Chains A and B, each alone.
Chain A
Amino acid sequence: METQPEILFLSRKILELNQQLVESQSAKTHFVSLVANQLNNPMTTLLGLIKHLEPAQGEKKHEIFAMVHEAVLELDFRIQNLVATARIESGSCENSATLVDIKSLVDEALEALQYMLDAKEMLVVIDDAVAHRIVTDAAKLYRIILNLLANACQYGDTNSDIEIALKKANNTLEIIVHNVGDAPKVEFKPQIFTRFAASAEGAHGLGLGLSIVRSYCEMLDGSVDFFVSDRKVTFVVQLPITVQDTTISACGSDEFLFESFDDAIEL
């Protein structure tokens, strides 16, 4: 077999080239991590305290307060995405399984994005066909939903609807988000899910949201994809549903996993 040495030789070459690529990106990665850590703590303080500054309804300053509050929420959304990116890239982002009500996560995400929905006068229609709570990582799923909805708000038309469908079939959870508006080009699919890639569409934002969605979907053994028909954009997240008792650790139910190491080889 001549192909194997050749492939391994080419793999070595790819490794060399990739090392250069990683080095060229390392400053960016380090910067993301640094910024995320530096901004997260003061942001938490701001979020906690800002509500105490709210003037009474009808006061002149109330409108100004509302604008500041929206800016803080928007800033927090971006900082939490930076924090998520830094965690994913650090490798210290473990899954944590709990019983989750998907609809309540969607409601929570909509509440966090209410200022964006109000600004664009968008309506949200939810079709929830998931009757039961499921076992998954609530924090990761929340960020997946939040980023998909933020994406739909950001690129959706003013006065349009966002449709969210929650489905469960064959042990797979599907989260489908439709919006009408600026559609990402299908030929840019790989770039759309890559960090700092908003330039593929010449648009705004840090280009982190969808890269987080993809990474979290992969961590939960799922996938994300999108489809475009005219100006209707559909993002589909598919996640396997683990049927297991929540009192059991999330290490999986494979018998092999729980076998003892009694007759194991020692190296």
Chain B
Amino acid sequence: MISGSSIFIHVGQIHVDVAPQAISTVLGSCVAVCLYDATTHIGGMNHYLLPFWNNNGLQTPKFGNIAIPKLIDAVVAQGANPRALQAKIFGGASMQAMRDDTMMIGKKNILVAQEILREYRIPIVAQDIGGVNGRKIQFDLTQGKVLMKYALRAE
């Protein structure tokens, strides 16, 4: 049970806040990265749709390689200690309707999160990724815990 209110984020959004706030979203093949600094109780979440921005359109956080560095910058700008940051990643399901999943969007979204977080030396302390089910998550900034439920089918 969260003590503050919960902000819902959509695809391409980033939200950074401090305890007792919570942040929630619903994911299919999209991935959400949750960052948390337990010393300041500052944390943030993004929700991206595709792995790479390829110079087509605006550099928006609906792309993983844009959304993750922006989330890191945003939590640090809010006062989080970059060395104390821990990450949790969720989502990246394969769509039910595309069982063969030749595009592997979900897998590529997961890969981008893992690679970029490794590059920034931010440890991934929990994750629930892949599979075929959508997920609903709520990130509680009081304790840095994420509550997660599976949807019957991916978004």
A residues touching B (Cβ–Cβ < 8 Å)? Answer: 4, 7-8, 11-12, 14-15, 18-19, 21-22, 25, 29, 85, 88-95, 190, 193-195, 211-212, 214-215, 218-219, 249, 251-252, 254, 256-257, 259, 261, 263-267
Contacts and interface: CB of A to CB of B under 8 A. Distances in A.
Contacts of B74: 91
A89 B58 contact: yes
Contacts of A212: 58
Given A88-B60, A264-B148, A267-B88, A21 B54 contact: yes
Among A7, A211, A256, chain B packs the most CB atoms within 10 A around the CB of A256
B121 interface: no
25 contacts: A8-B104, A11-B108, A18-B54, A18-B65, A21-B55, A22-B69, A85-B58, A88-B58, A88-B60, A89-B59, A91-B14, A91-B46, A92-B14, A190-B56, A194-B56, A195-B57, A218-B12, A256-B26, A256-B134, A259-B136, A261-B138, A265-B147, A266-B147, A267-B88, A267-B145
Given A219-B10, A264-B149, 7 more contacts: A4-B104, A18-B52, A25-B59, A89-B66, A93-B13, A215-B58, A267-B127
Given A11-B111, A264-B149, A266-B147, A195 B14 contact: no
Contact of B138 (A7, A214, A264): A264
B59 A29 contact: yes
A94 B14 CA distance: 9
Interface of B: 8-10, 12-14, 26, 46, 51-62, 65-67, 69-70, 74, 88, 104, 107-108, 111-112, 115-116, 126-128, 134, 136, 138, 145-149, 151-152
Contacts of B111: 8, 11-12, 15
A18 B55 CA distance: 9
Contact of A91 (B67, B116, B128): B67
Contacts of B52: 14-15, 18
A259 B145 CA distance: 18
Q: What is the interface of chain B mostly: helix, strand, loop, or mixed?
A: mixed
A263 B8 CA distance: 19
A231 to B, nearest CB: 27
Contacts of B149: 256, 259, 261, 263-265
